[in-house]
Amino acid sequence: MNEPPSNQLPPGQQLVAENKWPIIGEREPPPLAAPFVLRVNGLVRQVLELDLDSLKALGSGAYRVDLHCVTRWSKPGVEFTGVSLSKVLDLAGCRPEACFLSFVSLSSTGHHSSLPLETALAMGCFLATGVGGGPLPAEHGGPVRNIVPGRYLYKSVKWLGEIRVLAEDRLGTWEAGSGYHNSADPWREERYMAPALDKRLASNLIAGRDFRGHDLRSIEAAGRELAGLRAAGALLRDARFRGANLEGADFAGANLSNAGFQNALLRGARFQRADIEGAAFDGADLRGVSFAGCSLTGTTFVSAEGAARIDGSTQFTRAGLEALTPGQRAFVLAASPQLE
Ligand SMILES: Nc1nc2c(c(=O)[nH]1)N[C@H]1C(S)=C(S)[C@@H](COP(=O)(O)O)O[C@H]1N2
Ligand SMILES: [Mo]
């Protein structure tokens, strides 16, 4: 595969501030009851249980990696130290039937993600123990996290505790439960798999303007007449509302991550406590809109395509603004100087 130039961002991504690394997904490290051990098992000749010193004794290396989160922020050139996955697998010895790896977290949910064995080796996966000259902080997956260069960051499991070597794929937690794309290539924008939405149900709900309690991920509602839509608490990740009329719509508490509202009419709409990470509002009319309590990690208000209409009647909270990328924050503050 041709590697894209490293000075370029994958499509739909924007840079985070240089000193920032957002925390996404599980935030709390698991309580480590016993000293750390990494288990390597499944289709191996030798099951391994490596403590931190024996892992590092396999040979620590330096890695420079561009991180790309599916919620549209990128952090290029992060300097890690760690042990290459291939060294660990060489020690365990994969059996000929081995085709997939499942990376399992020590977190209380047992969070996991998977990769084809061949991809993991080709991408140069490694087990990170350090970053920026210090140990890997617990909130970013320390003591040990796998890092998968060249894939969205959801493939990089925090608090790694186990690598299972398998013949068949075992879909990861986000991939199986939330429709995250299993191959996760940011250069191809492999973010989500669109779920099979019942078209009749979707068009009935659009006609009735009531989405409450529904899973409508990736719903196509571009240009639709949806003023006064009731969508509090709805699951609308990756929904397409480009150019729709959504005046006065209620999205309180809805999951709208990566939803597209480009050029939509949203006057007076409510987004309190909604998840709008990675959502796009470029060109949308946002006068009278409330974004109180929303995390704005990866949210876009201005792009080459257009600028949102924001004024003193558009409400933000400080923590939300803090999470914006520098370019987006500067745009919002210029439109609404009283927020400064
Ligand atoms: N154990 C665990 N690992 C995880 C997750 C999680 O929820 N639990 N979330 C994934 C997702 S979706 C992302 S984007 C990255 C976020 O890593 P960060 O918090 O260090 O930025 O971790 C990935 N690894
Ligand atoms: Mo993510």
Q: Does 105 sit in the ligand 1 pocket, CB within 6 Å?
A: yes
> Which of 311, 319, 305 has its CA nearest to residue 289?
311
For a mutational test of ligand 1's pocket, the pick from 20, 109, 131, 154, i.e. the residue with the most ligand atoms closer than 8 A to its C-beta, is 154
Q: Does 24 sit in the ligand 1 pocket, CB within 6 Å?
A: yes
Instruction: Detail the DSSP E strand segments found in 87-181.
Output: 100-105, 112-116, 126-131, 134-135, 145-147, 160-166
For residues 22-37, b (16+ Cβ closer than 10 Å) or e, as one string? bebbbeebbeeeeebb
> Which of 212, 162, 219, 161 has its CA nearest to residue 195?
219
Question: Residue 4: its pLDDT value, please?
Answer: 52
Q: How far is CA 215 from CA 205, 230, 275, 279, in A?
A: 11, 14, 14, 17
CA distance 148 to 119: 9
Our separate counts of H helices and E strands in the chain read 7, 15
Question: Residue 289: its pLDDT value, please?
Answer: 97
Question: Residue 2: its pLDDT value, please?
Answer: 42
Question: Residue 1: its pLDDT value, please?
Answer: 39
Q: Distance, CA 230 to ligand 1 centroid (Å)?
A: 31
CA distance 183 to 254: 27
Protein residue with its CA nearest to atom 12 in ligand 1: 154
Question: Residue 266: its pLDDT value, please?
Answer: 98
Q: Does 25 sit in the ligand 1 pocket, CB within 6 Å?
A: yes
Which residue ranges in the chain fall short of pLDDT 50? 1-2
- Ligand 1 atom at shortest distance from the alpha carbon of 152: 14
Express each pLDDT in 202-249 by its tens digit: 999 999 999 999 999 999 999 999 999 999 999 999 999 999 999 999
Q: What is the DSSP letter of 143?
A: S
Q: Distance, CA 317 to ligand 2 centroid (Å)?
A: 23
CB 26 within 8 A of CB 158: yes
CA distance 155 to 308: 32
Question: What are residue 35's phi and psi, to 5 degrees?
Answer: -60, 150
Residue tagged 């490293």 (tokens): 6
Q: Distance, CA 28 to ligand 1 centroid (Å)?
A: 11
Protein residue with its CA nearest to atom 24 in ligand 1: 157
Q: Does 157 sit in the ligand 1 pocket, CB within 6 Å?
A: yes
Strand partners, 12: none
Protein residue with its CA nearest to atom 20 in ligand 1: 140
Q: What is the DSSP letter of 90?
A: H
CA distance 104 to 174: 12
Q: Distance, CA 140 to ligand 1 centroid (Å)?
A: 8
Start-to-end C-alpha separation, the chain: 46
Q: Does 159 sit in the ligand 1 pocket, CB within 6 Å?
A: yes
CA distance 231 to 254: 7
